[in-house]
């Protein structure tokens, strides 16, 4: 890639094409998703009239997660805070890398499509990882726990039931942003092929 | 044709549905509870009673509109009721240990109780009398509550963020006190002495001569430091008064700001002596027709104190009686004998005094009093040289309302409500201009019998610049036939009265089986901003800040230093960490316990068998227990507050090796 190429690309950036705009919106959405929750879960039980809420971000868990962890310890489930330590540490560099890659890809010629491709699979990866951790939590219950329940897989989306608790889970704004990024990137890939 | 069929079919369908519904109805009436009409008939309720029941009913899960803080009398506590349901919501330990709240057992709260009792041995009770909610611009602000201990001349400060007692100060120069009232912005909390005693408190043989010469009353102005939430004794002061029995008082507001009005009785200076054939106090103290309304220019007194005119007696700055008289700080006005209530009207213009043995309430005008002082319109001086203002120069009106007028509260429509002790009734009467004018002014308009022997009464914000009206509570001393017999110590009776209309309406009776609720104050619920959980984990309830000795999960530990064993412990459903503590007989054990829960109502108790230790650890609270392990044995400790299905398992052992 010569300086001339860069210069011509920058010249074009002054008159951005649809590809440029879509990529930048996609990059911005991906970046935004870092500060938004990806997944929410609400637990309802008679003694929690307002329900108990936890929001899972790429980097942290917020809401009444400590209260949920206290309840989980009765069935021998690990506290939510110990989940996905590696993922939480890598989330910021991965997403920022993705933002850079998607945002810059229109300038990078043939390398461009290659750099948009990871953004397409990113939300799938998130879902897979979430499913893995939910399964792991539900299937590594401490056998010495005071209340014994059969191993279970909490619902990723929709209703579930554990003892007197009914749970309601759904994806949230951060995930929707990442999914929008993925759709835009996919659209870009298709257009690239045609170009 | 087709349309006709449709209509016919539709009609048939409607009939079918009706029939089905009718069938259901007949079945359901046979099996469900009696109808409202049947219930009313079976209980023989009048329409008024049904209306009162509905008016005071607060459905499950709904909140009351008001909180009433009532003294708990000899229980040494404060009682908190919800209005209009009159449900008891909370008991606050103040002068007595209160085990549900762990009050008096932790290092922090034991010190509140113990420290201030140092001169009088360990006191384990008090006679809570007059609650006073802190005020801003002469309106309740809902931040603090003050209450006096009549028996032992103490004043307590309760923080309404966590409804817990934070401080007790002891009056070093008085034997007993009466009342707590606050200045319009709570700069001062006023305590009047009740029974005159040697000043400063010590032994002086009780002869009439000694009494006249050495016994004194006091007006104590406790300085309140709002930022710290504490009374500052170093900034407080007292005014020496003649040995009459000072009683209720009220701070002026607006035009009367800077002044305090206070009742007295026993201006006869009777000292009893029935076995020596002297008249009993009762008779001796009621001989004269008039007692003295005390008129105190306390802002002037504060200035004199600031200029160094006081003497320090037992750590308290005192302005002498001589100085008070010489500097225009103290005046008297005659008041009908044996008065109790002394209540300043919402605009600060009138002072209403009820003399128990006089059928009138006597209303003084602050303006007239000021004019009379200016004109030196005195009718004489008392034996201590205090100028007495001429009665007819300072009285605005007298309203004949009935027997035994005591205490007055106000509403939002220019009416006053006075308890009538001898009549067992509440009198409603009108204030004069600017509240009511012409023929409407100073008139008895209604009287409602109560059951029985009413003492004080409390209306919604009824002693502030903006009375709320709507409800009034009669605090009755006797309940006689109102409740089933529960032994010869009868409950006392709180009666809720609707004052929103022309006529007062009795709404409900509430038995109080805890001790004499003496006086109460009623505040709208939304003006009290209390915490549901302590805002930060490790909050020390005395400092209201995170304690340096708090512990988090995973950081619990036991450290021995010589013969002191210090434990940093956490409490969480359903375990204490650590749950085993081993010490040797004679060791000093210090437990720092933090409830690390964040959930509302996730409260843990902490009790150790036979060591007289019981804490209440609300979510986020930190407390320290300190004791000498002087009893060898193995002592279970456990959570006293049912907290989870594994609550009984929330336990551990303290081993004390011999
Ligand atoms: Cu517990």
Contacts of residue A43, defined as CB under 8 A and 6 or more positions apart, other chains included, come to: A51, A52, A53, A68, A71, A165, A166, A167
A129 touches chain B (CB under 8 A): no
Annotate B334-384 with three-state secondary structure: EEECCEEEEEECCCCCEEEEEECCCCEEEEEEHHHHHHHHHCCCEEEECCC
d(CA B438, CA B427): 20
**Tokens 């020496």 found at:** B240
Contacts of residue B597, defined as CB under 8 A and 6 or more positions apart, other chains included, come to: A70, B533, B571, B572, B573, B604, B619, B620
pLDDT greater than 90 at residue B358: no
> What confidence score (pLDDT) does residue B13 get?
43
- Reference A38, options A119, A123, A161, A101; nearest CA is A123
Q: Among A67-76, B320-329, B452-461, which is the least confidently predicted range?
A: A67-76
> What confidence score (pLDDT) does residue B467 get?
98
CA of residue B336 relative to chain centroid, distance:
27
Which chain A residues are Cβ-neighbours of B646 within 8 angstroms? 74, 146
**Tokens 């059928």 found at:** B359
d(CA B251, CA B407): 15
The minimum CA-CA distance between B554 and chain A, rounded to whole Å, is: 14
Span B299-306, mean pLDDT? 98
d(CA B420, CA A98): 82
A81 touches chain B (CB under 8 A): no
Span B277-285, mean pLDDT? 88
Pairing of strands B311-313, B316-319: antiparallel
Ligand 1 centre distance from Cα of residue B645 (Å):
10
Instruction: Give exposure, B223-251, as e/b (b: 16+ Cβ within 10 Å).
Output: bbeeeebbbebebbbbbbbbbbbbbbbbb
> What confidence score (pLDDT) does residue B12 get?
43
Residue A154: band (very low, low, confident or very high) from pLDDT cuts 50, 70, 90: confident
Measure CB to CB from residue B573 to each of A64, A70, A147 and give the nearest one. Answer: A70
Please provide the DSSP assignment of B58-85 as one string. Answer: --TTPPPSEEEEEE-BTT-EEEEEEETT
In degrees to the nearest 10, what's the CA dihedral of B334, B339, B340, B345? -50
- Reference B353, options B371, B333, B379, B368; nearest CA is B333
Ligand 1 centre distance from Cα of residue B107 (Å):
21
pLDDT tens column, B489-519:
999 999 999 999 999 999 999 999 988 899 9
> What confidence score (pLDDT) does residue A113 get?
76
Tokens of B379: 């009718």
Per the prediction, chain A carries an average pLDDT of 88
Residue A6: band (very low, low, confident or very high) from pLDDT cuts 50, 70, 90: low
Neighbours of ion ligand 1 (CB under 5 A): B 604, 639, 643, 650
The three-point CA angle B427-B396-B291 to 5° equals 75
> What confidence score (pLDDT) does residue B285 get?
87
A93 touches chain B (CB under 8 A): no
Contacts of residue B66, defined as CB under 8 A and 6 or more positions apart, other chains included, come to: B82, B83, B84, B460, B471, B522, B523, B524, B525
B577 touches chain A (CB under 8 A): no
Which chain A residues are Cβ-neighbours of B649 within 8 angstroms? 146
d(CA B160, CA B521): 14
Ligand 1 centre distance from Cα of residue B599 (Å):
13
Ligand 1 centre distance from Cα of residue B644 (Å):
7
The minimum CA-CA distance between A155 and chain B, rounded to whole Å, is: 25
pLDDT tens column, A48-58:
888 999 999 99
Q: Sheet of B580-584: strands edge to edge? A: B580-584, B651-657, B633-638, B604-608, B613-617
The minimum CA-CA distance between A176 and chain B, rounded to whole Å, is: 31
A-to-B residue pairs, Cβ atoms closer than 8 angstroms? 16
Contact at CB, B649 and A146, closer than 8 angstroms: yes
Contact at CB, B646 and A70, closer than 8 angstroms: no
Determine the longest span between alpha carbons in chain B, in angstroms. 117
Span A171-185, mean pLDDT? 95
Pairing of strands B316-319, B230-241: parallel
Which chain B residues are Cβ-neighbours of A146 within 8 angstroms? 645-646, 649
**Tokens 């950036």 found at:** A13
pLDDT greater than 50 at residue B249: yes
> What confidence score (pLDDT) does residue A193 get?
67
d(CA B499, CA B467): 12
pLDDT greater than 90 at residue B18: no
8-state DSSP, B534 = -
Span B300-312, mean pLDDT? 97
Residue of A nearest to B600 (CA): A48
pLDDT greater than 60 at residue A90: yes
pLDDT greater than 70 at residue B271: yes
A114 touches chain B (CB under 8 A): no
d(CA A151, CA A142): 10
Q: Among A159-163, B189-193, B257-261, which is the least confidently predicted range?
A: A159-163
- Could you tell me the pTM of the whole model? 0.89
Residue A112: band (very low, low, confident or very high) from pLDDT cuts 50, 70, 90: confident
CB count in 10 Å sphere of residue A193 = 8
A65 touches chain B (CB under 8 A): no
Higher-pLDDT residue of B12 and B398 is B398
CA of residue B185 relative to chain centroid, distance:
18
Residue B121: band (very low, low, confident or very high) from pLDDT cuts 50, 70, 90: low
pLDDT tens column, B210-231:
999 999 999 999 999 999 999 9
Residue A27: band (very low, low, confident or very high) from pLDDT cuts 50, 70, 90: very high
Phi, psi (rounded to 5 degrees) for A119: -65, -30
Span A60-85, mean pLDDT? 89
- Reference B517, options B607, B454, B437, B580; nearest CA is B454
CA of residue B157 relative to chain centroid, distance:
11
User: Which residues, listed in sequence order, are joined to residue B336 by a DSSP beta bridge?
Assistant: B290
pLDDT greater than 70 at residue B28: no
Contacts of residue A172, defined as CB under 8 A and 6 or more positions apart, other chains included, come to: A36, A37, A38, A39, A40, A55
CB B194 within 8 A of CB B183: no
**Beta-sheet strands, E only, within A8-122:** 39-45, 48-56, 61-63
Which chain A residues are Cβ-neighbours of B573 within 8 angstroms? 70
- Reference B371, options B414, B333, B326; nearest CA is B333
Contact at CB, B599 and A74, closer than 8 angstroms: no
pLDDT greater than 70 at residue B102: yes
pLDDT greater than 50 at residue B366: yes
The minimum CA-CA distance between B599 and chain A, rounded to whole Å, is: 7
pLDDT greater than 90 at residue B82: yes
**Beta-sheet strands, E only, within B76-128:** 77-83, 87-93
CB B478 within 8 A of CB B490: yes
pLDDT greater than 50 at residue B352: yes
């Amino acid at each position: 890639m010569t300086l001339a190429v860069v210069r011509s690309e920058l010249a074009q950036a002054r008159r951005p094409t649809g590809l440029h705009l879509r990529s930048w919106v996609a990059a911005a959405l991906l970046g935004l998703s870092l500060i938004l929750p990806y997944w929410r879960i609400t637990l309802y039980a008679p003694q929690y009239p307002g329900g108990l809420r936890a929001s899972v971000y790429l980097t942290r868990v917020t809401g009444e997660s400590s209260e949920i962890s206290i309840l989980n310890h009765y069935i021998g489930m690990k506290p939510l805070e110990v989940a996905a330590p590696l993922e939480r540490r890598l989330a910021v560099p991965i997403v920022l890398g993705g933002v850079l890659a998607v945002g810059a890809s229109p300038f990078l010629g043939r390398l461009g499509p290659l750099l948009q491709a990871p953004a397409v699979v990113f939300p799938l990866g998130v879902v897979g990882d979430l499913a893995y951790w939910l399964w792991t939590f539900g299937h590594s219950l401490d056998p010495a726990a005071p209340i014994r329940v059969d191993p279970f897989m909490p619902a990723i989306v929709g209703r579930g039931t554990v003892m007197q608790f009914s749970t309601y889970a759904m994806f949230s704004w951060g995930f929707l942003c990442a999914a929008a990024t993925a759709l835009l990137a996919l659209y870009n890939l298709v257009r690239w092929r045609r170009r | 044709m087709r349309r006709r069929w449709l209509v016919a079919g539709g009609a048939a369908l409607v009939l079918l549905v009706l029939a089905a519904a009718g069938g259901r109805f007949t079945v359901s009436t046979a099996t469900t509870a009696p109808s409202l009409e049947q219930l009313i008939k079976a209980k023989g309720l009048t329409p008024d009673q049904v209306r009162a029941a509905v008016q005071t009913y607060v459905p499950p899960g709904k909140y009351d509109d008001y909180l009433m803080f009532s003294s708990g009398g000899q229980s040494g506590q404060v009682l908190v009721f919800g209005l209009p349901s009159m449900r008891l919501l909370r008991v606050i330990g103040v002068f007595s240990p209160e085990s549900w709240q762990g009050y008096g057992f932790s290092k922090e709260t034991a010190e509140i109780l113990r420290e201030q009792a140092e001169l009088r041995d360990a006191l384990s009770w008090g006679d809570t009398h007059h609650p006073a909610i802190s005020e801003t611009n002469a309106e309740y602000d809902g931040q603090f509550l003050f209450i006096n201990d009549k028996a032992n001349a103490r004043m307590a400060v309760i923080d309404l963020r966590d409804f817990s007692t934070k401080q007790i100060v002891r009056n070093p120069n008085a034997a007993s006190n009466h009342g707590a009232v606050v200045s319009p912005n709570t700069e001062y909390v006023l305590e009047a002495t009740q029974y005159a005693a040697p000043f400063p408190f010590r032994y002086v043989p009780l002869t009439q001569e000694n009494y006249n010469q050495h016994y004194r009353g006091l007006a104590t102005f406790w300085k309140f430091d709002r930022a710290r939430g504490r009374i500052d004794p170093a900034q407080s002061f007292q005014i020496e008064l003649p040995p009459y029995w000072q009683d209720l008082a009220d701070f002026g507001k607006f035009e009367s700001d800077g002044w305090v009005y206070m009742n007295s009785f026993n201006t006869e200076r009777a000292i009893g002596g029935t076995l020596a054939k002297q008249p009993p106090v009762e008779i001796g103290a009621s001989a004269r027709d008039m007692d003295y309304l005390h008129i105190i220019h306390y802002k002037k007194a504060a200035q004199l104190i600031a200029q160094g005119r006081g003497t320090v007696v037992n750590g308290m700055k005192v302005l002498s009686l001589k100085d008070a008289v010489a500097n225009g700080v103290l005046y008297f006005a005659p008041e009908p004998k044996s008065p109790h209530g002394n209540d300043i009207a919402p605009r600060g213009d009138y002072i209403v005094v009820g003399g128990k043995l006089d059928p009138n309430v006597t209303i003084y005008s602050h303006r007239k009093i000021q004019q009379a002082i200016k004109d030196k319109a005195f009718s004489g001086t008392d034996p201590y040289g205090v100028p007495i203002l001429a009665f007819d120069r300072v009285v605005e009106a007298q309203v004949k309302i009935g027997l035994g007028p005591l205490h007055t509260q106000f509403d939002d429509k220019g009416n006053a409500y006075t308890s009538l002790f001898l009549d067992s009734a509440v009198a409603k009467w009108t204030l004069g201009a600017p509240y009511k004018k012409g023929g409407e002014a100073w008139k008895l308009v209604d009287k409602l019998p109560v059951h029985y022997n009413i003492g004080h009464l409390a209306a919604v914000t009824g002693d502030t610049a903006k009375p709320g009206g709507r409800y009034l509570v009669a605090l009755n001393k006797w309940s006689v036939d109102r409740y089933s017999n529960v032994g010869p110590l009868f409950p006392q009776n709180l009666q809720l009265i609707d004052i929103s209309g022309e006529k007062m309406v009795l709404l409900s009776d509430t038995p109080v089986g805890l001790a004499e609720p003496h006086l109460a104050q009623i505040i709208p619920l939304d003006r009290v901003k209390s915490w549901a959980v302590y805002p930060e984990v490790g909050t020390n309830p005395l400092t209201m800040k995170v304690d340096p000795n708090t512990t988090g999960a995973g950081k619990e530990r036991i450290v021995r230093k010589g013969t002191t064993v210090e434990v940093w412990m956490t409490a969480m459903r359903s375990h204490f960490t650590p749950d085993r503590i081993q010490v040797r007989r004679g060791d000093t054990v210090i437990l720092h316990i933090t409830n690390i829960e964040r959930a509302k109502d996730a409260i843990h108790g902490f009790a150790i068998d036979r060591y007289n230790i019981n804490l209440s650890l609300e979510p986020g609270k930190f407390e320290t227990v300190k004791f000498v392990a002087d009893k060898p044995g193995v002592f279970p400790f456990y959570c006293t507050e049912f907290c989870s299905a594994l609550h009984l398992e929330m336990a551990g052992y303290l081993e004390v090796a011999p």
